Each structure stands twice: as C-alpha cells, then as structure tokens.
Structure 1
Amino acid sequence: MAKSKIVEMNNMGIVVQSLDNAVSFFTELGLTLEGRAMVSGAWAGKVTGLGDQSVEVAMMVTPDGHSRLELSQFHTPGIIEDHRTAPVNALGYLRVMFRVDHLDELLERLQKQGAELVGEVVNYENIYKLCYIRGVEGLLIGLAERLDDTPAPTL
C-alpha cells in the first residue's frame, strides 16, 4: 500500500475584520479575486470545530495561478482572540511572503494604503531585496524582489 503524501498546497487562510478592506489591499498587492461566498451552517462548523457558523470568504489568487489566499470574515461566532500585532518570534506566528517585482514602487503604493514597514528593506546576499510590512489590519506580510537570475539558495 502506498504511503499517503501531500499532493499540493491548496491555500493559506487568514481571518480578517473587514473582508472588503482585505480584498482591496491584496488586489493592490497584485492578487486577483477568484470568488466570494458565504459559508454557513452546522456542516461548516463540524470542519472548524466552532459549531453553527456564518463566514464570508474571499479567495484571492496569485498572478501565476498556483497559490491562493483565503480571506475569511466571521459573522458568527464572534472573534475571541486577536494575534495581528504579535511579534515575529511569537509562537504560532503567521506571515505570508510574496515574491514581487519593483519592491520600492510597490512598497510606496502599499504605504499609501496604510501599510507600515516593520524593520528595514534589506539586501540578502545580492539575491533578494526583502522586507516585512504590517499590511491591512496589521497582518504581517513579507515582500521579496529577486535581484539576479542565479538559483535561490535553499534554507
């Protein structure tokens, strides 16, 4: 019998307070809204363990079509914890990283939408220019611009 394994990563999910604001921000970043829908009822709560729930979901897709970000706004049950301002060394820390073109120009646009640079924009071994920002609702987002055509190092 064959050993079970992961086939692909389907998406990464983030719970937000305002779905409209999050969709607008990630659209500015370069993702495309693939679809938006309400997910509700006891069946959904069986998956999440929350019981009867009502959640509005927006699926955002990267330009290459391979990665998705699922944004969720819970209507019921109410939010019980908020981890958006946790530092990068917090247990369960959440960050999503995107490879981008023209980091400086993008960073300028995102800052006009309220994004804040966490530390500094740095040059990593002349391979990447990268930074962390606090984006919409304080979400931690990494941005990395490839500086050359050599293969990326494995970490």
Structure 2
Amino acid sequence: MSVKRMDNVLIVVDDLEATKAFFLELGLTLEGETTVEGAAVGELIGLKDVRSTIAMLRTPDGQGIELDKFHAPDAVRFGPVEAPVNAMGYRRVMFAVDGIDDLVARMRTHGAEIIGEMRYGDAYRLAYIRGPEGIIVGLAEQLG
C-alpha cells in the first residue's frame, strides 16, 4: 500500500485569527475549529502538557490546511519570520487560481506583500505573496 492522497498541511501560527482571515480571503473554507489537549495529544506529537487551538481549512477541491495556535507549550520560532524562499524546510504552499490580479489586490487588504510575479511562457502567470506569520503563498493562474 502506498500514499492515497495528501490529507492536510500543518502551519503553526501565533495570530490564528489573522491567518485564518488570510486563507478565507484566498477562497478556502473553514471546516471547523477546536481546542485539543491532554496526554493523548502530547504522546502523538511528542510534547508534554499540550493545549492548542486548531482551525481546519479546505480548498474547493477538498485539500486541507490545518492552522495550529499553541497555548502550551509556547510555539518555538526558528529563524526570522520573513525567511527567504530558499530557506531550508517547508517554504510555501501554492494554489491554482482564477483572476490573479484581483486576488492579489484583495490579499493586500489582509497585509499580504508581493514577493514577485512572473509569466511562465504562455502557460501560467505566477505570483508569490507573503502573508501573516511570514507564510509564503504561491498563486498560479493558467492562461489560455
């Protein structure tokens, strides 16, 4: 047996509300939000005395992004918030979109900053934006 599909990606955040609003504006929907805690949670993730709030978001095609705000123990930040795209580790998530110009303008109202934009031949227009918590999001609009 091998991997059947990707279920979700976890992003640990400090400002859950701002990050949630950012992804909702991108077009994801909030599937649910809950607080988890206790020994079983701690054993699963390898921490003690865990308490966190989780918001599960879904793309229109059902892919998940899980936002996690740790209340205990405190989240740990490694490196700068605005690390460059070539920093080691998970660096961005990319979404296929329509109307990239309008979407980028809307995302700016949520504090997003443009990292860069380009046209990839006649196939795609691409934009990288940085949102709350330094999260990098790639946007890809198929042309033609």
| TM-score (ref. length: structure 1) | 0.88
What SS does structure 1 have at the residue aligned with 2:129? strand
| Amino acid in the other structure paired with 1:55 | S
Does the Cα contact within 8 Å between 1:86 and 1:93 map onto a contact in 2?
no
Alignment partner of 1:145 is 2:138: no
| 3-state SS in 1 of match to 2:89 | coil
Cα separation, 2, equivalents of 1:81 and 1:46:
21
Choose from 124, 127, 133 the match for 2:129. 133
State whether residues 53 and 76 of structure 1, in contact with CA within 8 Å, keep that contact through their aligned partners in structure 2: yes
Counterpart of 1:53? 50
Deviations along 1:75-97, whole A, 9 cap, x unmatched?
Answer: 00012224532111111142100
User: Is 1:71 matched with 2:67?
Assistant: yes
Match of 1:101 in 2: 98
Gaps of at least 5 residues in structure 2 are: none
Give the deviation of 1:138 after TM superposition.
Answer: 1.7
Please tell me whether residue 16 in structure 1 is matched to residue 13 in structure 2: yes
What percentage of residue pairs aligned between the two structures are identical? 47
Higher relative contact order structure (alpha carbons within 8 Å, sequence separation ≥ 6) = 2
Query: Aligned-pair distance for 1:22?
Result: 1.2
Q: How many residues align?
A: 143
Q: How does 1:87-126 map to 2 (within 5 A)?
A: 87-119=84-116, 121-126=117-122
Bigger share in strand: 2
Q: Answer yes or no: is the 8 Å Cα contact 2:12–2:75 preserved in 1.
A: no
The structure with more radius of gyration: 1
Please identify runs of 4+ aligned residues in structure 1 that moved more than 3 A.
Answer: none
